[in-house]
Amino acid sequence: MITLGELNMLPAHEFVARLAGIFEHSPWVAARAAAARPFESSQHLLAVMRTAVAEATPEKQLALIRAHPPLGLRGRARTGLTAASSREQRGAGLEACTPDEAARLDELNAAYVEKFAMPFVLAVRGHTPQSIIATCERRLANDAVSERRTALHEIGMIAGYRLAEVVSDAGN
């Protein structure tokens, strides 16, 4: 963990390196935020990073969404997961899915990608395999515009959880 004060003092390339994983495979978000230093709090930093995403081009936003792995990957497919994604999915019980739950999640992931051309993204903290399945089923009824907005909102929530694990406001 790094304090916000220490983070504010880092050279830009080190700042980006420390925060590169906050938004899945998208260090450009941290790079855009670096110019807004110094940050008064980790919540201020998070708000600036979320704003960078909100102000990005639709193509950049879609690339960010597509950088997220499908939920519930098993076996060799999990090797592409970042440590953060793996930890989050494990915490939601996705590694312990029943075979029926895993099969249903695979079906839903495929249907979601077919309909929206992007992966189903959900901040899984506090979820169970059953609630993840129910959420995906419900969100499949959305239109593409609202689903993209929902995915970006979920990514912002994921970023908040990840940032809290990396940056401390202590000593600020």
Active site residues: 68
Residues 6+ away with beta carbon under 8 Å from 55: none
User: How far does CA 132 lie from the centroid of its chain?
Assistant: 15
Taking CA atoms, 66 is separated from 14, 20, 109, 116, 165, in Å, by: 25, 16, 13, 11, 23
Q: What angle do CA 150, 154, 157 make, to 5 degrees?
A: 145
d(CA 60, CA 37) in angstroms, rounded, equals: 23
The total of other beta-carbon atoms located within 10 Å of residue 103's CB is: 12
Residues 6+ away with beta carbon under 8 Å from 73: 80, 81, 89
d(CA 140, CA 130) in angstroms, rounded, equals: 16
Residues 6+ away with beta carbon under 8 Å from 11: none
